[in-house]
Every structure is written in C-alpha cells, then in structure tokens.
Chains A and B, each alone.
Chain A
Amino acid sequence: ALIQENCWDTVDRRDRVVRRRMATSAVFILDLKGNVIISRNYRGDIEMSVIEKFMPLVVEKEDEGVHSPIITHHGVSYVFIKHMNVYLVSISKKNTNVALVLSYLYKAVEVFCEYFKDLEEESVRDNFVCIFELFDEMMDFGYPQTTESKILQEFITQEGHRLEVAPRPPMAVTNAVSWRSEGIKYRKNEVFLDVIESVNMLANASGTVLRSEIVGSIRMRVVLSGMPELRLGLNDKVIFQQAGQGGRRTGGAAKGVELEDVKFHQCVRLSRFDAERTISFIPPDGEFELMSYRLTTQVKPLIWVEAVVEKYRGRVEYMVKAKSQFKRQSIANHVEVIIPVPSDADSPKFKTSVGSVKYVPELNSFVWTIRSFPGGREYLMRAHFSLPSIHSEEVEGKPPISVKFEIPYYTTSGLQVRYLKIIEKSGYQALPWVRYVTQNGDYQMRMQ
C-alpha cells in the first residue's frame, strides 16, 4: 500500500514511543528569587532560558492555590525541590521518570552537603568548580551515574585539597560494590550501630489514637579496614513479614516484632534477604543508614497529653496534663510539650511544679520543657493568657499539640541486635557497639 496510509497504523506505536524517556535535560541551582546560580545542560534539547519562567510560574501556581513540586509549561516540565535557600530544578520535555528525578535531586543535595557541609547559596558560589565537576560525574546525558559521595571524593576534590597526581577513576565507580573502595585501612576496627525508632502518632480530640506507627532506622558508622563481609542478626522476635504466607497480624508468633516493611541500603544483598532472611553486606565506609523499617503498634502512646482549654472574655486558660506510659525503669529526656495558643494571645502566666514553660510567640505556642521524665508519671501545669476583647475576623487553624522526646536504651518495637558478624580476609577482630533510642516522629494530638 501507500506510505501515507501507513502513518495511521503508526499511531499506536507512536504513543509507545514516548513511554520510557527518563532523562533530565538540564539541572539548575537557583536562589530563592529564581536567579540561576549554576546550571548544567545535559541534553541541549531545551533553551536554557526557559528557567526564567520558573519562579513566575511557581508564584502564579501558588496564587491559584496549586502547590505542586511538578509544573509543566509550554511543554517543559519543571521538577524541583527546595533546600535551605536554594532550589534544585530539573527540566525536561519528555515523559520523564519523576520518581527518579526527585530521588536524584535529593541524592545530589546529600552529596553536596557531604562535600560542602551544607548546600546553600554561598557554598554553591564558593565551590562552583567542584559542583561543575560533580554535575559532570553524577549525571550523563540526563542519566544519573555515580552518586556515592565517598567514592566521588576519591577523584573529585575541593579547592585546596587538589591532588598532585592526576586522579584515576576508583574501581568502585563501576564495580559491583560501587559504594566502597578497596584498600581502606584503620588501626582500630570498630562498628557503631544505632537503632533509632521514631514514633508517629496521631490522636483526635476525643483521645482516640487514629494512627500509631514506628519508623525505625538502623544507622551504622563503619570504621573497618579492607573489604569486610558483615552479617547482622536481629532478635528472634523479629519476623520479617513474609508476604504471601498467611494473612497479616495473625496469631502465630504472637510476641514477635512484625516489621511491615523493610528497606535496605543498596549494599544489602536483597535477593539473599528475600530467600534466606539474612542481612548480609559489604558496608560503605563511614556513616550510612543500613536499613529502615516500619510497623504499626497497638501500644499506648508513650507520652500522653491532655489539655483542657477554657476560653473566657479577654482571657484563655489551659490545664495541661502529661503522662508517661512506658515502663518505669526508662526515662524520657528533653521532653517538650508544645501547646498552640491563639495568635493574638499575650501576657502569659505559667504555673508548674516540674520543668519550665516558655511562651514562643513566633510559633503561636507555649512550650513546656521537662528535662527528665521517668516512666509511669503524671505531671500538671497551668497557663493563662490575655486575649484582646475584639475578635479577629480571620479564622485560625487548629494546630495540634505536639510532643518531642527521646528515650534512650529503649525500643518500642522490642527489636534488638543479636549479633553482627564481621569477616575480613585479613582476619582482624572488630567490635560492634550498639545503642538504642526511641524518639518522637510526627507526634500529634488534635485539640478541641
């Protein structure tokens, strides 16, 4: 048949054409006003000047009540995040993999932070040569490449730390073990393990717990020579939820710690974990998060706060009760109970037998700080504020009470590290150190 007829058949194929393009066309670092501090054009398919549209677009969207980290304008998609006083923006014309782009931008922030202590306007300007080099190495033609800062630091160095000899790409860049270089040497071999559990809790005004989950994280600081092979054992109670084998939260191991979801650092052999449930890995050097996990708990909220608010003409009074509901041997440190007050409240007066109270006008709240809060206790405090006699027209939101705390040597989940085996061919002995801490995550109680 004729060529022109075929063009209709290609319709479908054409639609598939645009499917998997994932590449970023260019990456920008902007200041808060939207001015470019530094940029890198990866594909040359978009005019770099389109970035001038970015800030006006963000503002325009916000005026329309649309706040989204992804904006498309004239066929150009802007995907962005904000860090301190800079924006990182990726632009593209294609149906990009936004999950990849956003993960990459966050990763880039992480790398820059490790290089320059922090990523902000000033540090970007001060280190532009280094940032250009990193841009070049971390992404090629819009495809993310090496983003391990430890590895990058071996061949891209900052001003002043320039290597005398021309650097060569470290083996690790392309190795299966892309996160650790060979030949690391320490005099003393040690591993520090931190098990940190953050409690996310949401309770409604009538005191019902709507949601309570623990997001745990095992962070490591590895000071080990060579290429050590590590195996981490957790207590028997920890049962990684074997999906597909019976329903969830069914009897069985009633006392076990059922982790609903586990995420591992890329060094952990996932297929091995999947098959044998063992956590084995060659760790990166230095600090990193080995794994994170999540579980929903049925336990009582660790610190429970009730606030009775009485509003009168010209004043408002608070009676706040804080109760620790964990075991008596443990102690919560640095407890802060943050109670919101109307924005026009003034002349605060506080009365409490424990801790100290401070009014923080910029947060529209007062903060009750208790340095040390043992388990099974209950403390009281009262607050009194004056209110203007004229009510403002504006409706104020109802921010919740939030609580900050830290309970050392304690995991809510019951998770414990049983062993950490370290095997290195040189056969050295290395000691693992473990710490546990439970702290607040998003810990909120709605008010009446």
Chain B
Amino acid sequence: MTDSKYFTTTKKGEIFELKTELNSDKKEKKREAVKKVIASMTVGKDVSALFPDVINCMQTDNVELKKLVYLYLMNYAKSQPDMAIMAVNTFVKDCEDPNPLIRALAVRTMGCIRVEKITEYLCEPLRKCMKDEDPYVRKTAAVCVAKLYDMNPQLVEEQGFVELLNDLLSDANPMVVANAVAALSEINEAKPLIEVNSQMVNKLLTALNECTEWGQVFILDALSGYAPRDEREAQNICERISPRLAHANAAVVLSTVKVLMKLIEMLPADSEFIASLTKKLAPPMVTLLSAEPEIQYVALRNINLIVQKRPDILKQEMKVFFVKYNDPIYVKMEKLDVMIRLAQQSNIAQVLSELKEYATEVDVDFVRKSVRAIGRCAIKVEQSAERCVATLLELIQTKVNYVVQEAVVVIKDIFRKYPNRYESIISTLCENLDTLDEPEARASMIWIIGEYAERIDNADELLESFVDGFHDENTQVQLQLLTSVVKLFLKRPTDTQQLVQRVLSLATQDSDNPDLRDRGYIYWRLLSADPAAAKQVVLAEKPLISEETDLLEPSLLDQLVCHIGSLASVYHKPPSSFVDNTKAPLRQLAPNAAALATNGSSSGDMDSAPGLIGVPAPSGGAVPSQDTLIADLLQLDMNPMGGSSAAAPAAPVAAPGGGLDDLLGLGGGAPSYGAAPAAPMADPLAAWGAAPAPPAAAGGGLNDLFGLGGGGGGMGGVMGGVQGFQTPKTQWLDAASHKGLQLEGAVVRKNGAIYMEMAITNKAMQPLSDFAIQFNKNSFGLVPAQPLHIAAPVFPNQTTQVSLRLDTNGPVQKMDPLANVQIAMKNNVDVFYFATVVPMLVYFAEDGMMEKREFLELWKEIPEANEQQFTIMNNRGLSADDICSKLQANNVFTVARRSVDGQELLYHSIKYTNKIVVLSELKMEITGAPTLTLSLKSRHVTALANLNEMYQQIFDN
C-alpha cells in the first residue's frame, strides 16, 4: 500500500509540473511540455488527466505543436468524450484555414476521433473539404468518409457522402481518385451502395497510370471485384493493366496478377491472347523471388496457388525454386512445396538430386519434408519411381533416425501406388525396424509387413515382437497391428492362429479404446463366421492412391485466386475462416469436406485412407487424422498456420482423450454421429442431415442430472415457472486425465443472454492460473463475448465459480451433432480440449414472438414434408396455461390457442439466434390424457433437430 501511494504522489507531482508548463505563457515552454506529454504517452503512461490543458494548446499557429495536440486528442478522446467536444470548434475553424496542410490535418484528425457525439459536427467541414480546391485536402477527405462510415454508416448514407465520394472518382487528380476508390471499396464491402460500372472502370484505368504505387494497388484491388460485361471488355482491361507487371513494387505486381488471373477465366481458353498473357505472368513472379524474404514468402504461397490453377505458367521455371543455403527456413519450406508441384518427367532428375542434397541438411523439419517430397515425386512421376526408391534406400543407409522414419512412411505409399514392384527392398526396411520410434513410421512398417506377409519369412516373428508391447503403442500403431496380424493369419493360417487370437483378445478385452475394440470384434466375428468372407474384406483390393493428395479443392482454389496477395492466399484458407466476420449466418460445408472428414475418422487405417502422403503443416489439405483434428482445435489457439484447410474440423470430435466423457455418456446418441453427410450446395441446411442431436442433459444416461447443479446455474426445477429451464452442470474435464483441472459446466440462457456457467476445481498440487478459453467454429457461431477472466489463481482443492457471457456472432460451421461445440481451455499447466452439446434452447431468441397472421401464412407456406410429429409425455399433469408459461419462460412464444372437439391446440413460435424460425403446434386432450402431440415445422428441417426432447425437458422441470 505504501509503495503504490508513493508511486501516485510522484506521478501527481509530474503531472502537476506538466500542467503548469502547459499553461505557461511562453510558447517555447508550452511546446516542450506538450512534447513531454506525448513522450509519456508513448511509453504508456497515463496522461489523460491533462486533457483540458493540452486541448488549450490546440489553437496555435505552430503546425508542429498542433500535430502533437491532435495526436494526443486521437489517443485520449475516446476516454474523455465530453471534453473532446471542446476541440470541435478548433477543428471546424482549422478546416477553413488558408493553409491546405492545416485543413487536411484537421479533417484527418477529426475522423480519427472515434467519439459518437463528434460525428455530427464532422459533416459540414467534411463536405467542404471534399470540394476543397486543393487535391491534398480532397484526398484526405475521401479517406475521412471511410472513417466516418466505420463509426456511423447511417449518417454517411443520409448525408449523401457516398455520392460525393462517387463524384471524386472523376477528380482530375489521380491520388484523389485512388483514395476515393479505396474508401468506396471499403463502404461497398459493408453494404453495396455503389455499383462498379464500366464507366467507372474506365476512369480508374486512366488514373492507374498516374497515381502512386499504393494508389495503383487500391485501384487494382477495386478492379478485381468488377465483372466485365463481355470478353472484349475483359481483354481491354487485361491489356491496360498488364504493363503494371513491370512495376518495382511487389504489391502492385501481385495485385495485377490477381486481376489478370481472374479476367483470364472470362476469355476463351485457347485464344492467342491468353497464351501471350500467361507468358507475361511468369517473369515477374520469378523476380519476386529476389525480393526481401518476407515478400518472397508471400510470393511463394501465391505461386503455390497459381501453379495449381494454371500449371503451364511456371512449368519451365523449376530451377528458380531451388533452395539456397541461406534462405530463411520458411522460404525453404515453401520452395520445396512449389518444386513438388512443378515436378514432371522432364525435370525429375534435377529435382531428385536437389531433394537428396536437402535431405542431408541439418534442419530436421526441412529434411523430413525433403524425404517426403522424394516419395511424392515417385508417386507423381511414374518413370521416376525407381530412382526415387533407390534414393530413399540410400538415405536409409545414412541411419539418421528421422530420415529413416520418414523414408519408411513414404515407401509405404510407394508400395500402395505401385504394387508388386519394389518389394525386393523389404528386407532392407526390416533391418531398420529397431530404429523406428515414431507412431507413423511404426504403423507404416507394420502395414508393410502385413501386406507382404507371404513374402517375409519371419513376418510372424516381426509382428509378434510388436505385439509384446501392444499396450504401450499409440492407437494408430495398435489399429495397424491388429489389421496386419489378421492379414498375416489369412495368408498363413496354419502357424499364426495363436498370434491372431492373442491380438484379438488384446484389442477387445484389454483395451478401453472403442475404435480398437470395435475393429477387434468385427475381425473376430468375421473370422469365426466366414473366413472366406473375411479374406474378401480384409485382403480386398485397395483403391489406388492419387498422384497429388494435397491439392486444394477447386472451389476453394478459385476463391483463393481472387484473394491473391492477401492473408487468405498466404494461409490457403478462405477469409471467413480467420477474419472476424461478425454475425455471419451458418455457412454451408463443401461436399468434399464431409468426405474428408469421413476419412479422418478412420485414421490409422492405411488401407482406406488414400491420402496419407500429404505434406504436413503448413500447406494443409492433408486428410485430417485424429491428430490433425485435435490440432485444428489447437490451431485456434496457437497455430493458425498449421494444419488442414478450413473444412477440416467438420468431423465429430473423435474422442481426444477423456475429454468427451459427457458426450459419450449420452449413450444412444454417440454411435450415430458417424460422418457428416454430404451437403448439396443449394441448401445449407440440408447438410445438417438427420442425425439426432441430443442436448447435454437429454438421455437417461446422465444419472447426475440433479446432482451437480449447486453453483451459479440456478436449478430449473425450482424456478420452472418463472425462469427458463437451465441444464445443470455436467463434468467437462475430469481431474485425473487433465492434470488436476476439473471442470464442470453448463450453457444456459438467462436475462436474454447466453452464459457458460463453470465450476473450476483444482485437484492438483499447485495453484492453477492464467485461464483462457476458446471456441472452435460451431453451428450457431457461439463464442465468448469477453475473455475468460478469473481474478485469482485457483488454489489446490478450491473451486471457483465463473459465469462467462457468450455471443453468437463467432465464426460459423455446421457441427454434428448440431449443437456440438468444441472448446479449448488453457491454464498455466496445459491446454485441454473438450466438446459439449449445448442445449438447443439457449439459442431461442427473445424476439421470437410472431404475429398470428404471419404464423398462419408461414405454416401454410412450409410444405408438409417439413413437418415432424412427436409424442410428449405430460408427466407433471400440466394445464394448458402451465405449459404456455413454462414455454414462454424459455422463449417459446404462444401465438394462439384454440379449443376444438375436446382438444386444446396451442401454437408457438421459436426463433433461433441465427434467425431460423420454427413453428409448433401442441395438441392436448382436455380430458387430461398424459400424452401430448407435438408437430414441428420449419423451412429447414434440420433446425427441428431434437426440439421434442427440449420440450420434454421444459415440461419435466
């Protein structure tokens, strides 16, 4: 306490001193004081207390002093909005100053003061400045419109600034045009107010030749959003912008490439014009490789896209991608990727000799990737396979542990691609069995042994040696071992019966891994029921693996080509996956994402996953195995570069550790969560499929339904009539397998907002602190509204209750089950992952009340096929009134009631936070029969999901 007191007094002293100086009569002293204030501000000291004194210095002829005061204003205005108004007069006055520098400075600064109250004062000066005689002022005013729009879009529209901005596109000064187009593009993104037409394009093309390099980028980026009317126009634009390829600025070059790549699509593919244009594209891209390393990196990521889209452009340029010793590692890795893409028969010899060279470098990641690349060359260019295998064998001879392991993994793929050709090397591989300690390498080796069991005399011995340590192996290895032993048995039944029995019992009886058990049982029953059938299944011909497994999916590729030069092009992910795209509704899944996910869930099975040679991070696109799925969750937290493309996490979380206890606890639901069904592009909701999505507390599986509700959750049963039903807390993380962190929680809706109620218990020896939480993309865009804040560390054996407000404006991705949310929780010890199925009713919005007429119309409009009927038990003998008030409390709104033929009919409407509407009709016998009939209707059947269970819960509580 004394320390802090001392601290404040010194600070007060300092501030006081500055205050006196600021109010000094001497100009020089004043200026020095303002400088001191700015210096303090720069190092992060709070000098906001001087606000009025600094503002007093604003009226000065000294430009330097004025700039400093303005700087101060921008920094503190937001925290002192009322005082900021004091500055308005000076701004307005400065906007009339004879010196254009001052006028521009004023309008530029005003726009940066993000105080709502100021905006209205801004309009008149801004309007004047947009018509200023000096282009310097006009170009500054143009940007200011974008600033104003960011704060108050409505005002900008009402005040006609968009039209004024549009007028500036015809300005005689190219810089004004460039800034106007930048501002307009930004406004148009938020709301398309101005349509880009060919007349405007012409103006832009004219300005393009004269404006600064940055202005050229603004214009080119704006052009990339324009769709020409016809071929001729497209060709004309191409001709007029292609000289920009010779610009020294890399951003200008890449933006030009972007527009050209897009326009080329509009032109006939075999035209001479295209041929000449594509020829023009290669040299500038190659030149970018002489730029600064960071720019090289961006260029290489983009080149990776371009060679996928148009392989012809760079096919002659292999050599420029050869790795230099002093390239930064991130450049090396990217070059390697491009090299593999460009590899073909004509250059394969050179590529291979390079890769071999790289494989003897020191950087482990780079070496591994090089070894994998050799395997990929073998698979891509058949003629080179033999040479690749020879090279890999040479590398195995080096006995460098990680080189050998990578080599074994890729050789397995080569075997898959070219069966019965290179088996002669198996003996060499077997010699290195002992050095393999990574799961993937072990699994690969085991696969090879199983696959070629008939040719390896001691296959049984080799496999047996693995079986001895069965329980210590990674799941991937266990699964592979199981399959390989069964293969061996089918090929050599006489002397391996004992072995197969041993493995089967290890897998089924001693393992608690459901995947392993399931597979074990299937084999067991197959073998005992029909050995011939077993042979057909287990030794079936395998699908060929494809040449290039890491190609981006075409529609994503097309999308990314439109983003050349941007972050999306570097990440190879659509912008929506990493940009904070608030309030975006549910987004459809690409059909093949689901297919990928299917593969992912069967990870570890080398017979079925045809894409195992994909390069690991960062290029993405590899089939997401269990690991990458988890990594994907992880990636949210720390590794956005890594891992799979945006579509990857579509698969249901494949039980990472014990984290999903509660999910599995739902019993009935779990097995049916298979692969996400393919989504037809037309209807995003159809992709949801019909998989039932029981909420956390649905089934009878949870015997602790009432046991855990103690904390802040508020028990539904007690308050049933008044407040919405809230699911009690369930265990999300158990202490035993999560380093002492026990987490119980529930997602509930109260007071019109969604909360995550958590009880964090520390069962470890040390205090737990630094908690943070993160959500993966999910169906309703559920994300924390604020960071998780836990003031004090949780001490051993202590429980802390937290309530975290959630929002539904996060990134959206359809999950299966629909309400599933994957969550990562971090503390000072580790990061933990779990998933929970959120009760659907937290998504019922407060504004779901519907007009009778509207309800009726909609009811008629929705086809019969979209109706589902359920029977609900009225266990508590509720009256119609009870039912309505209970539902009302959960945002299920009563639209109408009527009685017909001894039946009471209740009509309700529900609106999800994502604005999907569900209509419901409840039929109730007046006699008080214990069953109710519930009919649900929605335009999107999937949205009905398990609503009947929701109703049941509401009634039962």
Contact = CB atoms under 8 A, between A and B. Distances in A.
B677 to A, nearest CB: 18
A38 B42 contact: yes
B189 A146 contact: no
A393 interface: no
Given A21-B186, A22-B221, A169-B100, A397 B362 contact: yes
Interface in B889-929: 911, 914-917
B201 to A, nearest CB: 15
A133 B69 CA distance: 12
A20 interface: yes
B917 A2 contact: yes
Given A8-B585, A103-B295, A167-B101, A19 B175 contact: no
29 contacts: A4-B911, A11-B585, A15-B574, A15-B575, A16-B225, A17-B581, A22-B221, A72-B571, A72-B640, A75-B578, A97-B221, A98-B567, A103-B249, A141-B112, A147-B214, A174-B136, A202-B324, A204-B353, A260-B283, A261-B246, A263-B284, A266-B212, A271-B240, A274-B242, A292-B248, A397-B363, A399-B325, A400-B325, A446-B325
B475 to A, nearest CB: 23
A203 to B, nearest CB: 11
B522 interface: no
Please name the 10 residue pairs, one residue from A and one from B, whose CB atoms are nearest each other, closest first. A244-B276, A261-B283, A95-B575, A4-B915, A69-B294, A397-B362, A174-B135, A144-B214, A72-B640, A274-B243
Interface string B133-160: 0111001100110110010000000000
Given A14-B585, A169-B134, A68 B641 contact: yes
Interface stretch (B60-68, B375-383, B387-395, B747-755): B60-68
B243 A136 contact: no
A176 B858 contact: no
Interface residues of A, number: 117
B169 to A, nearest CB: 15
B221 A20 contact: yes
B575 A70 contact: no
A383 to B, nearest CB: 21
Interface in B525-568: 559, 562-563, 565-568
B254 interface: yes
A3 B914 CA distance: 11
A132 B67 contact: yes
B647 interface: no
A69 B296 CA distance: 10
Contacts of B320: 211, 213
A71 interface: yes
A113 to B, nearest CB: 14
A64 B639 contact: yes
A77 interface: yes
Nearest to A95: B575
Contact of B280 (A57, A244, A273): A244
Nearest to A177: B210
Contacts of A21: 186, 189, 579
A71 B917 CA distance: 39
B251 interface: yes
Contacts of A298: none
Interface stretch (B88-96, B326-334, B798-806, B948-956): B326-334
Contact of B575 (A19, A262, A395): A19
B839 interface: no
Interface of B: 35, 38-39, 42, 44, 61-64, 67-68, 71, 74-75, 78, 99-102, 104, 108, 111-112, 114, 134-136, 139-140, 143-144, 146-147, 150, 173-176, 179, 182, 185-186, 189-190, 209-214, 217-218, 221-222, 224-225, 240, 242-244, 246-251, 254-255, 272, 275-277, 279-280, 283-284, 286-287, 290, 292-295, 297-299, 316, 319-320, 322, 324-326, 328-330, 350, 353-354, 357, 360-365, 400, 559, 562-563, 565-571, 574-576, 578-581, 584-588, 617-618, 638-642, 684-685, 774, 854, 858, 911, 914-917, 939
B638 A11 contact: no
B312 to A, nearest CB: 13
A22 B247 CA distance: 19
A311 interface: no
Contacts of A202: 322, 324
A245 to B, nearest CB: 8
Contacts of A103: 213, 249-251, 295
B277 A77 contact: no
Contacts of B42: 37-39, 128
A412 interface: no
Interface of A: 2-5, 7-8, 10-11, 14-23, 36-39, 41-45, 57, 60-61, 64-75, 77, 81, 92-100, 102-104, 106, 128-129, 132-133, 136, 140-141, 143-147, 155, 162, 166-169, 173-176, 178, 200, 202, 204, 210-211, 213, 215, 241, 243-245, 248, 260-266, 269-271, 273-274, 289, 291-292, 294, 395-400, 442, 444, 446
Given A162-B64, A260-B283, A398 B361 contact: yes
A246 to B, nearest CB: 10
A397 B38 contact: no
Nearest to A211: B319
Nearest to B584: A14
B102 A166 contact: yes
Given A11-B587, A64-B639, A266-B248, 14 more contacts: A2-B917, A7-B585, A43-B150, A61-B641, A66-B639, A68-B297, A72-B578, A95-B578, A99-B565, A100-B214, A103-B251, A169-B134, A178-B211, A270-B246
Contacts of A92: 567
Contacts of B174: 176
A93 B914 contact: no
Given A19-B575, A261-B286, A266-B248, A99 B357 contact: no
